[in-house]
Amino acid sequence: MEELSADEIRRRRLARLAGGQTSQPNTPLTSPQRESPPGPPVAASAPGPSQSLGLNVHNMTPATSPIGASGVAHRSQSSEGVSSLSSSPSNSLETQSQSLSRSQSMDIDGVSCEKSMSQVDVDSGIENMEVDENDRREKRSLSDKEPSSGSEVSEEQALQLVCKIFRVSWKDRDRDVIFLSSLSAQFKQNPKEVFSDFKDLIGQILMEVLMMSTQTRDENPFASLTATSQPIAAAARSPDRNLMLNTSSNPGTSPMFCSVGSFGASSLSSFGASGGASTWDSYSDHFTIETCKETDMLNYLIECFDRVGIEEKKAPKMCSQPAVSQLLSNIRSQCISHTALVLQGSLTQPRSLQQPSFLVPYMLCRNLPYGFIQELVRTTHQDEEVFKQIFIPILQGLALAAKECSLDSDYFKYPLMALGELCETKFGKTHPVCNLVAALPLWLPKSLSPGSGRELQRLSYLGAFFSFSVFAEDDAKVVEKYFSGPAITLENTRVVSQSLQHYLELGRQELFKILHSILLNGETREAALGYMAAVVNANMKKAQMQTDDRLVSTDGLMLNFLWVLQQLSTKIKLETVDPTYIFHPRCRITLPGDETRVNATMEDVNDWLTELYGDQSPFSEPKFPTECFFLTLHAHHLSILPGCRRYIRRLRAIRELNRTVEDLKNNESQWKDSPLAARHREMLKRCKTQLKKLVRCKACADAGLLDESFLRRCLNFYGLLIQLLLRILDPAYPDVTLPLSSDVPKVFAALPEFYVEDVAEFLFFIVQYSPQVLYEPCTQDIVMFLVVMLCNQNYIRNPYLVAKLVEVMFMTNPAVQPRTQKFFEMIENHPLSTKLLVPSLMKFYTDVEHTGATSEFYDKFTIRYHISTIFKSLWQNIAHHGTFMEEFNSGKQFVRYINMLINDTTFLLDESLESLKRIHEVQEEMKNKEQWDQLPRPMAE
């Protein structure tokens, strides 16, 4: 064959393409004779075998490529076969059955690669044309070139790429493209002056398409398109346009990652297919896409943005060329810019900040293309007004979605994930969304009533995100979903608790991302610390024994808040914490004026502070580690401990109700025929109903409180607190020597009493309900603290606080709790306890005779019983046995101890004899049956 020039080859190729419709047989697009070409494998589950990211090659009749060596494969979707280049650039479009999102493709093995090698370029995925040998040789030489070899894409090929991504044509009309009549007229009139560069052309295309979409519904330009990718929710094609959450997405892959599919413009603008997700019905009101022109525009722009990524994956060599890369970058940028215009209502009706954002449902469904939101933030954040107009409605929409979600399903996490990814978006050192969130009027609203804690939860912006809870009093849906069965078994409760704890962990991790991003951003760090301090200060009443729950935040919010603060405190080094922060003039925490101190009155504290201040304050500027540590400490005081007390009260109420029900059942034969029978039956019914309710509430609380990982975090933090206290007591820590100095350090004496009391109370709780948590690395410090405090009782003014420490030791005694034997052995074998623990307990045994309380006479018996039980165990230990003997022979406390022991024994013996006398009298009266039956009987309650 005569060698042809390049111009002749191009002329013949165009002529052949012009006659493509008549020269090619009609091959249906759904022909089974297709195979997928090789492409970059992406791990994802394809919705069906008919969907593929790669090209479709007709083995019997290969389709001709109108792009040639451009590296962009496409084919006609016309039912008449393959269209010519001159007829329409829509040849680059793919049908819905041949398309996947950029996150889905099919792996092709080596055999299929070899089969399609003659028709498909393995590297670039270019579909070869059926031309003569010279054409094939030229095409192969172009497609085989590496980007570094200097190969460039022609203007014609670039135009075809643009048309493919935007699905437009200015030549002929086709059912799968949008015909641009204005551009078509310009090209016919003067094609060389239509656009100055590709950026100009892209802008003209997008503007014409979007302006066309503002016409009547009958002239909707997207109506002629078939979906090129799976819509947001294939199962949500019902007329109500509800979006389905993409639950298969992996939140760890990328922000706003689209793992099911990108948005099919036409498929979203005209939901006509049948089908739906029944599991989504109850949540459809939370994630609903509005039927309007703006939605059609957004669907189109989002899909165009996504197709850029698809093209980059399909033809990486071609797209790596600088010209093509710049072109694709311009397409992305223009899509984002026009998205901003749509969201502002610039192309339709101007929108106010109070109107919901069209973008929120897409974010909640997590089906936006990779980088879409980040690019939108980058493009708009420099214009403050535009940025507010776009993102304030988005933030408000996410908060509203968070309020409406519940832990009865895992959909609650999607608003959290969306906000977390927005807050993590940064450019340089600035987080634009964090700045916007902290500037919201409801970031930290002023208190308007005594219920500042509940106000902060209901009104503050982050309050909606922190409010998810497993507690029955916070969210009744959790009880109805998980504990509404006829019987709640231990096994069922354990399985459900693990599931709920997993949900809590996911949500709290997202909360941590949000707050951590706001703290990392220098411009909003102060606002974040102010919010954290406000949550603590507004909920001070939660520490009271009797609290009005309507005035404070819920237990669920406080525990979520605590979890986040614990994560922020994990990397704090104790050396960087200032122990005097609570007395700092700029301390963010406001202590009540009547707060009890460890070993000082308020007058003593004020005098000490006046002495410290003098002419010049010794306090340095508080640093973040110090502030975070003390905020976390007070959050423990206001969250985990009130929750523990509520849990214990609920258990006590359940035991009492059980006892009442059993008594009524056992005595039914006595009252069933009495006049009070109806009353007793009503009481029995009411008790059973209340008991069932309390059991369900307890099952929810088990999931919220008895989470071992969470309790371990609490214990480890209290370990840090104990280290700080020991450093104050003896700067030589960990080499502490006993006894301590007789002068109590002023800093320690002025600390709030609950710093010590909370440690004892928390230990008491976990020893009873989760003893396996005790064995953490911080246990050694806890043991040392107990020994030091018990051996230096003069450091604590309140004898009942010392009694709590004694009770902790009593509860860990193997005779009481066998599972804590190791912990008790650590106490009794501690080097500091062998010499001073026994004498100190003997001293407290005698000192507790007078505590200053009105109930001291009765309290002392319980405390002394605890000490006597401890003594029985210590007597068995050889190290302490010698201490006992020394104290018996020459100790200062032994004589008083024996004196009190004899006094108590005498009193209890008298009480016992008196009771025996009364028992004998009753027995004598019962011998006279007639007289006994005539005696009035107490009314059964």
Residue 44: band (very low, low, confident or very high) from pLDDT cuts 50, 70, 90: very low
In the prediction, which pLDDT does 177 show?
83
pLDDT at 245: 44
- Mean pLDDT for 200-208 is 86
Specify the pLDDT at position 698: 92
Q: Tell me what pLDDT residue 683 has.
A: 93
Q: What is the number of alpha carbons within 13 Å of residue 307 lying toward its C-beta?
A: 29
pLDDT at 64: 28
Nearest to 32 by CA among 125, 83, 98, 92: 98
Instruction: Look at residues 788, 802, 789, 903 and name the one whose alpha carbon lies nearest to residue 852.
Output: 802
Please answer whether residues 632 and 784 qualify as being in contact, where contact means their C-beta atoms are separated by less than 8 angstroms.
no
SS3 category, 123:
coil
Residue 91 scores a pLDDT above 50: no
What is the three-class DSSP state of 242? Answer: strand
pLDDT digits (tens, 9 = 90+) for 96-123: 333 333 333 333 333 333 333 333 333 3
pLDDT tens-digit map of 459-502: 999 999 999 999 999 999 999 888 887 667 777 788 888 999 99
Those residues with Cβ within 8 angstroms of residue 267's Cβ, 6 or more apart along the chain or in another chain: 96, 226, 227, 231, 237, 273
Q: Return the pLDDT at 434.
A: 96
What's the pLDDT at 828?
A: 92
Which amino acid makes up residue 21?
A: Q
At 129 the pLDDT is: 36
Distance CA 44, CA 34 (A): 21
Q: What is the mean pLDDT of residues 137-156?
A: 47
The arithmetic mean of pLDDT across residues 906-917, rounded, is 90
As a whole number, the mean pLDDT across the chain is 77
CA gap 70, 151 in Å, rounded = 10
Residue 629 has pLDDT above 80, yes or no: yes
Most confident of 108-112, 216-220, 573-577: 573-577
Measured between alpha carbons, how far is 324 from 151 in angstroms, rounded to an integer? 11
Residues near 685 by beta carbon (within 8 Å), at least 6 away in sequence: none
Residue 263, pLDDT > 60, answer: no
How deeply is 658 buried, as exposed, middle or buried, from its count of CB atoms within 10 A (0-12, 13-18, 19+)? middle
73-87, 634-648, 705-719, 769-783, range with the lowest pLDDT: 73-87
The predicted pLDDT at position 612 comes to 77
- The band of 827, judged by pLDDT with boundaries at 50, 70 and 90, is very high
Categorize the per-residue pLDDT at 250 as very low, low, confident or very high, splitting at 50, 70 and 90.
very low
For the chain, percent of residues with pLDDT exceeding 90: 45
Q: Which residues contact 809 (CB under 8 A, 6 or more apart)?
A: 786, 790, 824, 827, 866, 870
Q: Quick one: pLDDT at residue 411?
A: 87
pLDDT (tens digit, 9 = 90+) per residue, 155-202? 888 888 888 888 888 887 777 888 888 888 888 877 777 777 888 888
Beta carbons of 594 and 539 less than 8 angstroms apart: no
DSSP string covering 385-420: HHHHHHHHHHHHHHHHHHHH--TTSGGGHHHHHHHH
Highest mean pLDDT among 134-143, 148-157, 491-500: 491-500
For residue 784, pLDDT over 90 is answered with yes
State the Cα–Cα distance between residues 788 and 738, nearest whole angstrom: 7
Reply yes or no on whether the pLDDT at 782 is more than 90.
yes
pLDDT at 122: 32
CB atoms within 10 A of CB 540: 19
Is the model's pLDDT at 3 over the cut of 80?
no
Tell me how far apart the alpha carbons of residues 453 and 92 are, in angstroms, rounded to a whole number: 59
pLDDT of residue 280: 37
Residues 379/424, Cβ–Cβ less than 8 Å: no
Q: How far is CA 440 from CA 291, 396, 432, 451, in A?
A: 29, 10, 13, 22
Please tell me the predicted confidence (pLDDT) of residue 415: 94
How big, in percent rounded to 5, are the helix, strand and coil portions of the chain? 60, 0, 40
**For the chain, what percent of residues have pLDDT higher than 70?**
75
Q: Is the pLDDT of residue 682 over 70?
A: yes
Which pLDDT belongs to residue 603?
A: 92
In this prediction, residues 227-254 reach a mean pLDDT of: 39
pLDDT at 283: 41
Cβ 104 vs Cβ 46: under 8 Å: yes
pLDDT at 941 over 60: no
What pLDDT does 855 receive? 84
- pLDDT at position 842: 93
CA dihedral 830, 834, 838, 841 (to 10 degrees): -30
pLDDT at 130: 38
**Sequential DSSP letters for 178-206:** EE-HHHHHHHHH-GGGS-SSHHHHHHHHH
What is the pLDDT, as a whole number, of residue 261? 32
Query: Is the pLDDT higher at 385 or at 218?
Result: 385
Residue 787 scores a pLDDT above 80: yes
pLDDT band at 32 (very low <50, low <70, confident <90, very high): very low
Highest mean pLDDT among 67-76, 82-91, 674-683, 797-806: 797-806
Q: Is the pLDDT of residue 600 over 60?
A: yes
**Residue scoring higher pLDDT (352 or 12):** 352
Residue 278: its pLDDT value, please? 34
CA 771 to chain centre: 28
User: Do residues 221 and 213 touch, judged by C-beta distance below 8 A?
Assistant: yes
pLDDT of residue 227: 55
Query: How many angstroms separate the CA atoms of 550 and 552, rounded?
Result: 6
Please state the pTM of the whole predicted model. 0.77
More confident site: 158 or 401: 401
What tokens does 8 get?
A: 């002749």
Residue 722 has pLDDT above 80, yes or no: yes
Question: What would the mean pLDDT of 917-923 be, rounded to a whole number?
Answer: 90
Contact 437, 423 (CB under 8 A): yes
pLDDT mean over 409-437: 92
Going by pLDDT thresholds of 50, 70 and 90, the confidence category of residue 287 is: low
Residue 752's beta-bridge partner residues?
597
What's the whole-number mean pLDDT along residues 412-439?
94
Query: Cβ neighbours of residue 742 under 8 Å, at least 6 residues apart?
Result: 794
pLDDT > 90? residue 398? yes
pLDDT for the residue numbered 467:
95
Q: Give yes or no for a contact between 757 and 691, defined as CB atoms under 8 angstroms apart.
A: no
pLDDT of residue 25 exceeding 70: no
